[in-house]
Chain A
Amino acid sequence: MQSSISLETIKKDFPILHRTVRDGKPLVYLDNASTTQKPIQVIDAITDFYSNHNANIHRAVYALAEEATEAYESSRDKVAKFLNIKNREEIIFVRGTTEGINLVAYTWGRKYIQEGDIIVTTEYEHHSNIVPWQLLAKEKNAKIEYIGVDDNGELLLDQLDSYLETGKVKLVAFSQMSNVLGTITNTKEIINKCKKAGVKTLIDGAQSVPHMKVDLEKLDCDFFAFSAHKMLGPTGVGVLWVRKDVLETMDPFHGGGDMIREVHKYETTWNDLPYKFEAGTPSIADVIGFAAAIDYLTTIGMDTIRNHEISLTKYALEKMSKVKGITIYGVKDVLKRGGVISFNFHDVHPHDVATIVDREGISIRSGHHCAQILMERLQVAATNRVSFYIYNTKEDVDKLIKSLEKVAELFKL
């Protein structure tokens, strides 16, 4: 492990950033809100596990099994330290944010949400923080309400007050950072309001945890979910954190191996936390790869990452706003947003823009970004989106601007 990683030379750690695409164009990867690339340290950790330590965890007594269990469990400790979590048993490894939120909906939700209850979410949620609640609401005859988004891309938090006043709200589920607009949610204010009203809070941290310092002890929410693959880690791994007093009241999600204490013909008792919620063989190698990603990010420092993205976003917003025919969505103040910029060209479909930009080797996203409710609010079918991470540079932004100018030229904007 390196003792320091410089952002100037960081690209050398990412093998994929050295390949070319589309007839020899160097790859410029700007779809980090979707998934991030992996440094060699993460790839090596996974390879090392399969080459040297592979065995199932928590069961056998032989050497390999002990090594595998030790590596897997030490990943849990790394997650705890990374997010300032006191109780490691509050950390459940899942497949990703989506599974984390579904776990809460199926276990806590099914047990505690009743007919007439209200679940509040926001207009800028990813589908993964909407659809599980719709399924639950349908089953229980409960209701979903949305905190609206203003023209600036920020939440209209007054609306939360009126929902809370009904006395029927059981849960407020919201993302800490919008995956489309990059807006950073005023998380503390929402949690404070909910605490006063005795309402549980669930935070989708998929976009925030990779890009800024998150302290769960300070936040004091009830549920928190995020994914490894958006923070240099492997796909197929995520974390659901649930405050212990809440987790202790929850029934199991999946039944199977590893989550039991004793199984009898007609009755079974559950394993301790968090294993009660980790049925079956997990993605062991990927959890270990995830720990390597956390090490990597920790060595750089989350504040360094945040500052890098603030300056890159500021630079990009300034340059992009000068491109002919462009509309940029979201808050102007870079301190209130992450490194995510959604935009459209007047009259040009986002897929046309993404295709033209891709021809220069630049990967950007076009579509509804799993946020169709926000698309409706913005009154667009789709947007283009660029999203930055630690390996992106001002040169990447310059290349993007050049290709966006080509779009304006081709379409005579």
Chain B
Amino acid sequence: MSDPIYTEMIIDEAKNAHNEGTLENPDISQHDANPMCGDDITLQMHVNNNTISDIKWHGDGCTICKACTSVLTQMIKGQDIEFAKNLNKEEILSELGLQHLITQSPVRIKCALLSLKALKLGLYTYLAKKIENSSSADTLKADASKLY
């Protein structure tokens, strides 16, 4: 039985989500939620030499939210901050074949992009603390608020 959202890949990705858990003394810890639907996640990262050396997430979310969070954490684990900063929604969604949500589901797109929003806000907070000139950090904040 085929379904445009609930493919076996997405259901499996959500059921066996990667990087679920918590980190001790994270350098970045960002909580975010979609109040209308109840998706609620916390994203935590360790940063070493500008590299995201470890990332974990925990919380409660729907299949779309969990699958996208799982994919996001796999994409940025081991990558440098610059890569994570520039990660965009199309890259996440296309990993799971969910690009159609952008035009077809203004409600469910929020589930898919909650973790990306948390990532951008988390990096913003981290970078704003680190750098005096926070103009690059402000771009992140603007990015996060424009996602959906």
Tell me how far the C-beta of B110 lies from the nearest C-beta in chain A, rounded to whole angstroms.
10
Contacts of A368 in B (CB 8 A): 38
Query: B33-66 vs A: 1/0 string, CB under 8 Å?
Result: 0001111100000000000000000001111110
CB distance A366 to B37 under 8 Å?
A: yes
Q: Is A399 an interface residue, CB under 8 A from the partner?
A: no
B11 within 8 A of A: yes
- Closest residue to A372 on the B side, CB-wise? B38
Nearest chain B CB to A381 CB, angstrom units: 4
Given A367-B36, A367-B38: A351 and B3 interface contact (C-beta under 8 Å): no
Those of B8-22 within 8 Å (CB) of chain A: 11, 15
A351 touches B11 (CB 8 A): no
CB contacts (< 8 Å) of B3 on chain A: these are 356, 359, 410
- Contact A382 B63, CB 8 Å, known A355-B108, A356-B3, A410-B1: no
**Separation in Å of the B25 CB from the closest CB of chain A?**
28
Kindly state the separation between the CA atoms of A366 and B62 in the bound complex, as whole angstroms.
11
Q: Which residues of B contact A406 (CB under 8 A)?
A: 1
Q: Which residues of A contact B11 (CB under 8 A)?
A: 410-412
B105, chain A: closest CB distance, angstroms: 8
Report the Cα distance A410→B12, complex, angstroms. Answer: 11
A352 interface residue (CB < 8 Å to B): yes
User: A406 vs B108: C-alpha distance in the bound complex, in angstroms?
Assistant: 19
How extensive is the interface on chain A, given as a class? 10 to 19
- Knowing A381-B60, A406-B1, A410-B11, the reply to whether A352 touches B37 (Cβ < 8 A) is no
A364: shortest Cβ distance to chain B, in Å? Answer: 14
**Residue from A347, A352, A382 within 8 A of B64 (CB atoms):** A352
Contact at A367–B37, with CB atoms within 8 Å?
A: yes
Least Cβ distance of B36 to chain A in Å? 7
Contact residues in B for A366 (Cβ distance below 8 Å): 37
Q: Measured between alpha carbons, how far is A406 from B2 in the docked complex, in Å?
A: 11
B68 within 8 A of A: no
Which residues of A are found within 8 Å of B37, using beta-carbon distances?
351, 366-367, 382
Tell me whether B63 and A352 are in contact (CB under 8 A): yes
Query: Nearest chain A CB to B132's CB is how many angstroms away?
Result: 41
Q: A367-B36, A367-B37, A382-B38 are in contact. Are A349 and B5 (CB under 8 A)?
A: no
The verdict on B72 contacting chain A, using a C-beta distance below 8 Å, is no
CB proximity of B113 to chain A, nearest CB, Å: 14
Q: Give A366 to B37 CA distance when docked, in angstroms.
A: 8
Query: Which residues in B have their C-beta under 8 angstroms from that of A412?
Result: 11
- Check if B40 sits within 8 Å of A351, measured CB to CB: no
A349-B61, A352-B63, A381-B60 known; A410+B38 contact, CB < 8 A = no
The residue of chain A having its C-beta at the shortest distance from the C-beta of B11 within the complex is A411
Q: Least Cβ distance of A62 to chain B in Å?
A: 47
Cα-based distance from A381 to B108 in the complex (angstroms)? 17
Q: Which residue of B lies closest to A351 (CB)?
A: B62
A286 to B: closest C-beta gap in Å? 26
Within 8 A of B (CB), among A368-409: 368, 381-382, 406, 409
* Chain B residues, Cβ within 8 Å of A410: 1, 3, 6, 11
A406-B1, A410-B3, A410-B6 known; A352-B62 Cβ under 8 A: yes
A355 touches B5 (CB 8 A): yes
Say yes or no: is B84 at the interface (Cβ < 8 Å to chain A): no
Of A406, A410, A411, most B-chain CB atoms within 10 Å: A410
Cβ–Cβ < 8 Å partners of B15 in chain A: 347
Residues of A within 8 A of B39 (CB): 351
Complex CA gap A411/B63 in Å reads: 10
Q: Is A409's CB under 8 angstroms from B1's CB?
A: yes
Contact surface of A with B, Cβ cutoff 8 Å:
347-352, 355-356, 359, 366-368, 381-382, 406, 409-412
Chain B interface residues toward A at CB < 8 A: 1, 3, 5-6, 11, 15, 36-40, 60-65, 105, 108, 111
- Which A-B residue pairs are the 8 nearest by beta carbons? A349-B62, A351-B62, A381-B38, A382-B38, A352-B63, A410-B6, A352-B62, A351-B37
Given contact pairs A352-B6, A352-B63, A410-B3, a sample of 15 additional A-B residue pairs in the complex whose CB atoms are under 8 Å apart: A347-B15, A348-B63, A349-B38, A349-B61, A350-B38, A350-B62, A351-B39, A351-B64, A352-B64, A368-B38, A381-B38, A410-B11, A411-B6, A411-B11, A412-B11
Question: Can you list 30 A-B contacts with CB-CB less than 8 angstroms, sorted by A residue number?
Answer: A347-B15, A348-B63, A349-B38, A349-B61, A349-B62, A349-B65, A350-B38, A351-B37, A351-B38, A351-B39, A351-B62, A351-B64, A351-B108, A351-B111, A352-B63, A352-B64, A355-B108, A356-B3, A359-B3, A366-B37, A367-B36, A367-B38, A381-B38, A382-B37, A382-B38, A406-B1, A409-B1, A410-B6, A410-B11, A412-B11
